[in-house]
Every structure is written in structure tokens, then in C-alpha cells.
Amino acid sequence: MVRILPGLAQRKMSAPDVMRGEETLLLGAVLERGVSGTICLPGTHSKWVTIDEAEVCGFSTSMTGEIFSLLQSHSVLAHSVQQAAGENDDDEAFQSAVREAVNSPEKILQALFSVRSASLLQQTATARPMRARLSGLLLGLEIAGVRDIAQEQVTLISSGQLAHSYRHALESVGFQCKLIDADEMVLAGLCHAAGQIWPNLKAER
Amino acid sequence: MVRILPGLAQRKMSAPDVMRGEETLLLGAVLERGVSGTICLPGTHSKWVTIDEAEVCGFSTSMTGEIFSLLQSHSVLAHSVQQAAGENDDDEAFQSAVREAVNSPEKILQALFSVRSASLLQQTATARPMRARLSGLLLGLEIAGVRDIAQEQVTLISSGQLAHSYRHALESVGFQCKLIDADEMVLAGLCHAAGQIWPNLKAER
């Protein structure tokens, strides 16, 4: 028998939002690790969640990952960054871009085009630092957008390279990060939900 | 004989930028209309240019049009706006989104996703107002990014629906717009350039 877990809907007129999938990771993180406060779940549509006493008080979604992917593959910036797809980041270019976007989020449309201009005009602007810059600008913009709701201590639920990039970005602008593995949390959340639906299954674990 | 007019390169380390095509419109606008001050040339890559005594002092490019097009056609937002492609704008949704992005540019990644969430959760969020909202958010973000360099009086070199949208966006946040037709200016610029290259052709006009 297959069951689908429901997501969350935030039915506020001023901040409508939906979550489909991340609630399972949150369930695991709350039950297994007792997380609370500010939680960041990076991804195609990054979620920032506030949890108090095991309850979701509110959340907001940023289109960071999807816009990065569109710009990297389908925009004029592809010429400047695509050769470096999959390569490790250039730390200096990445951090400097994070800080630039956190400090001047209103300049993002211009900063993004500068990736193209720099690669045309500057010899040092090769694909690797430019890809790191593109990534850093978008992560910085995401962080700029949640600064008013985020606590200084952030619980990051993520895995792999994405976890590394977000931790790096957050720490470079003064946040403290506690990393929890996303794959473990999704399993914990699913097992708990299955235990609620099928109590016998729980006994067999 | 075919000649290709060169563009402009801004070789500043802190603000590298390139222009290919718009310089011809600027040439026409300077020679035929004596424009100076803040000039806006909207498009896939919108240019904001400062002209003083018939000379380009500086310019900056925003990826507004390209990002709008990617989001409208290739992102999760396509489900929410694509039915309305080509329709006239919803003025109220457009203006309100322009002001939202001008006032809170740091929230843009969240505001963009809210187009999707609203269309899932709110009955009034149909394709037409959501497309206007998407357009308004991006134009507002572009305006937020040039506020520090733009004068209150802006010369807009554009045509058709794009000219209408930019004028509307700029005026809704307090700019005064003078509109000059882009098609006329490109012709004026090309004719002047041709006259310089082939003086005989000029005599035949």
C-alpha cells in the first residue's frame, strides 16, 4: 500500500507559500534532533523555516536553485560559466560575491550581467571564478532576503556540495551553522510517518 | 559594401560592461534630440546610460528582459503566468509589484516564488494579474538598482508595449519620463554613421 504525505500551505494573503517534501525532513529533524529556531533547507526552491516547540511558525521560499540553473544553462551567462559546470568552487570569488549581494541586493540584475561583461573584458574572469561568482551572488541574495527573520544560529538541513556552499556562504556573512544531513532526516521523517500509519510496521523495525 | 559599427566597452574593474547596438540609438538621440542626463534603453539586457555634453559618461546593464523571459517560459512560474502571454497588463497588480520590488529588492527571490504559491492558494491569482506581477517585480528590481545613479527626469528610448510598461513603472515610483521612439533613433543613428563613412551617400539623402 502506498501513502502520500501531505505538504504545508501558508495561507497568509501577504505571504502565500507552499511546501511539498521538506515537511518530511523537518519531521525527522524535530523528532530525532529536537531542532528549533531558524532552519534552512537549500535546493531548487530553498525553504527558510521558523520552528518553535516542534511547530512550524512560518516559512518562506526562495527560487535560488532554479534561477541558478536557468542562468547557468539557458541564459547569455552560459557562455561565461558552463565550461566549469561541476567543478569545485573558487572560494575567493564565491565569498566576495556572497558579500556583494548581501550588501547590495538591489544591484543583482546588474551584478548578474557583469559575469558576462567581465568574461568578455577581463582575462582573469575565466569560467571557474565566474561560475563561483554566479552561485555566490544568488546565495547572497537569498540570505539578504531572510536576514530580518533569521536568527544568528541557523540549522542547515542539506547534503553534499550544496550543504558545503550554503555553510560557506552563511558563515562568510556572520551566521553560525549547525549542519544536519538531509538524507538521514528524510529517512527519519518517513519512518516516523510510516510508524503512525502502520503501527505494526513500527514494531517490526 | 557592409560595415559593422563598433559597440562600447566600459573597462572599469569594479563595473565592467558592454554595449552592442544601443550606441547607435544613443547616437541618433544625441544628434537629433540633444538628449543628456539619464537615459534608459529597456530590453533583454536593459541599459541605463548617463550622457553629458553628447558623451557617454557611464552605463550599466540589467538582465531584466532575459530573466523575465526565462521565468515566464522555463521556470515553475510558467504554470502560473503562461496562459496570459501577450495579454495586456493588469495595471493594479503591475504597479503594486513595481513598488514592492523598489521598496524591498532584497526579497525578490521570495516574491518571485510567491507568484506560484499565490496561484495555487488564492482564487484571484489568475494568469493575467500574476504575469503583470512577475513583470512588475522585475522592472521594480531594475529601477531599485539604478536609483543611486538616475536623475529624476529619465529619457526612455523604446517602442510599443515595452515603452508603455517602463514608463508606467517609472512614473509609479516618482520618475518623470520623456519617451523617444527607438525605431526612429536607430534609423537616425545608422544614417548619421553611414554619412560619416560614405560622405557621398549623405549628399544623396
Query: ipTM for the complex?
Result: 0.95
Q: Are residues A92 and A86 in contact, defined by beta-carbon separation less than 8 angstroms?
A: no
Closest partner residue to B106 (CB to CB) among A15, A63, A145 is A145
**pLDDT, tens digit, for every residue of A112-151?**
999 999 999 998 889 999 999 999 999 999 999 999 999 9
Domain map of chain A by residue range?
8-63+147-204, 64-142
Percent helix, strand, coil in chain A, to 5, is 55, 20, 25
Q: Of B147, B146, B144, B169, which Cα lies nearest the Cα of B158?
A: B169
Closest partner residue to A113 (CB to CB) among B62, B141, B146 is B62
Q: Strand, coil or helix: what is B154? A: strand
- CA dist B63 → A89, A127, A177 (Å): 24, 19, 32
Q: Of A109, A48, A17, which Cα lies nearest the Cα of B115?
A: A17
**pLDDT, tens digit, for every residue of A182-191?**
999 999 999 9
| Nearest chain B alpha carbon to A115 | B16
Kindly report the nearest CA distance between residue B200 and chain A, in angstroms. 36
> pTM above the 0.90 mark?
yes
Q: Are residues A94 and A81 in contact, defined by beta-carbon separation less than 8 angstroms?
A: no
Report the top-level CATH class of A8-63+147-204. alpha beta
Q: Strand, coil or helix: what is B88? A: coil
Q: Are residues A138 and A43 in contact, defined by beta-carbon separation less than 8 angstroms?
A: no
Q: Are residues B75 and B85 in contact, defined by beta-carbon separation less than 8 angstroms?
A: no
Q: Quick one: which H or E segment has residue B182?
A: helix B182-197
- pLDDT for the residue A204: 54
- Res. B205: pLDDT tops 60: no
Q: Of A164, A150, A191, which Cα lies nearest the Cα of A62?
A: A150
Cβ of A66 and B60 within 8 Å?
no
Cβ of A112 and B63 within 8 Å?
yes
Chain B residues close to A105, C-beta within 8 Å? 105-106, 108
Q: Which of B10, B47, B79, B109 to mutate to test the interface with A (most CBs of A within 10 A)?
A: B109
In the CATH hierarchy, which fold is given to the domain comprising B17-63+153-204?
Nucleotidyltransferase; domain 5 (3.30.420)
- C-alpha to C-alpha distance for B178 and B30, rounded to whole angstroms: 14
Chain A residues close to B121, C-beta within 8 Å? 9, 11, 16, 18
